[in-house]
Amino acid sequence: MSVNWFPGHMVSARKKAAETMEWTDVVIEVLDARLPEASCNPIIHELRLHRQRPCLKILNKADLADPAVTRAWLDFYNGQKGVKAVALSCKKPGDVAKVPGLCQALAPHRGSRLKPLRMMIMGIPNVGKSTLMNALLKRRVAAVGDEPAVTKSQQRFDLNDRMSLTDTPGLLWPRIEQPSDGLMLAASHAVGRNAVIDGEVAAFLADILLARYPAMIAARYGCAAEGLDAVDVIEAVAKRCGLRLKGGGPDLEAAALTLLKDYRTGALGRISLETPESRGAMLNSPLPAGEPR
C-alpha cells in the first residue's frame, strides 16, 4: 500500500516556511523517536541546507521508543555536520528546559538583546511540535490534539528578550517514495485515517512486532508469538479484548485499531519501528514492482 497525504494547507505552509527560514538562526526539527528517519521531512532538510542553518533534531516521544535503538540514532545524527540530536519527551518540563541552551550552542553569535536568537520549530504532523512550543513558553499558545494537522498556520512568540520561537504547521511531502515509510507514519498517526487502510497498517505493525518484539505480543495479548503471522496477531488481539462481530467471528477491524492504539500509547511497551541498520537495508533494496520512485 502506498501512503500519500498532503492536505491543501501544506502547500502554503511550505512556501511560508521557506520565507521564514531566511531570518531563522536555528531549526528545531521534531522527530518521532520510534521512526526518526521516516519522520524526517526531506523538504525541511532542503530548506535549511539552502540557507545553511544548523539544526537541533529532537527525538520526541523517547519514552515510547526502544532506548538501545534511540542511542544508535543519536550517534547517527550527531555525526552529521551542523546537527545536534537529543532524545527527550516534550511532555516533560525538565527535558524541554534543555532546548534553548542547545540551540544557543548551535548559534553562539546570536542570543543578545540586539541580536536575539531566532528559532523555528518544524516537523511532520502529530509529532509534538505544539506540545514543545507550549512547554517552552509555559503556557498554552498552540492547539494540541491526537489528530494530525491541528496547527495550520505559523505562530511567532518571544521566549524572552534574547530568544524568539516560530511554530509551524506539520508538513509532509507530496510523495512518500518508500512504502514502509508511509506505513510507519500511518502506524504512528502522522497521516489522516482517510489516507490509509487501518487493517493493512496494523498488519505491517504486527510483522515488526513479530520480528523484533515477540515477547511484548505475548505479554499484552496472552499468546505465544512463535509461528504466528500478522493476521494471527490481529485475531489474538480480538480474542483477548473480546472484540466480536454479531455473528460471533472476530472483529478484525476493531482489533486492528486496538493494536495501533496500544502501540501509539505505549501500552505494548517501548518500541522502535526502524534502526539505522534497517534503514540502510531498506534504502539499498529495490522497491516492489509498480511502486513509485
- Mean pLDDT for 221-238 is 95
DSSP string, 67-127: HHHHHHHHHHHHTSTTEEEEE--TT-HHHHTTHHHHHHHH-TT--SSSS-EEEEEEESTTS
- Mean pLDDT for 48-63 is 95
What percentage of the chain has pLDDT greater than the value 70? 87
- Convert the pLDDT of each residue in 71-117 to its tens digit: 999 999 999 999 999 999 999 999 999 999 999 999 999 999 999 99
CATH number at residue 139: 3.40.50.300
4 domain residue, yes or no: no
CATH number at residue 272: 1.10.1580.10
Same domain, 119 and 263: no
* pLDDT for position 86: 98
Same domain, 160 and 205: no
* Mean per-residue pLDDT of the chain: 88
Residue ending a domain, among 122, 147, 167, is: 167
Instruction: Provide Rg for the chain, Cα atoms.
Output: 20
CA distance 268 to 270: 7
Does residue 169 surpass a pLDDT of 60? yes
Same domain, 256 and 202: yes
HSE at residue 243, side-chain half, CA atoms within 13 A, is: 18
293 domain residue, yes or no: no
Same domain, 39 and 79: yes
* pLDDT for position 194: 66
* pLDDT for position 178: 85
Same domain, 23 and 100: yes
Same domain, 236 and 149: no
Residue ending a domain, among 167, 183, 209, is: 167
* pLDDT for position 9: 54
Same domain, 36 and 112: yes
Q: 124 or 251: which carries more pLDDT confidence?
A: 251
From the list 256, 177, 185, 204, the residue with the least C-alpha distance to 2 is 177
Query: In terms of residue numbers, what domain contains 23?
Result: 9-167
Same domain, 118 and 202: no
Q: Are 237 and 259 in contact (CB under 8 A)?
A: yes
Domains identified in the chain, total number:
2
Same domain, 146 and 243: no
45 CB neighbour count, 10 Å cutoff:
13
Same domain, 159 and 201: no
Q: In the 8-state DSSP scheme, what is residue 287?
A: P
Same domain, 40 and 159: yes
* pLDDT for position 187: 94
Same domain, 128 and 34: yes
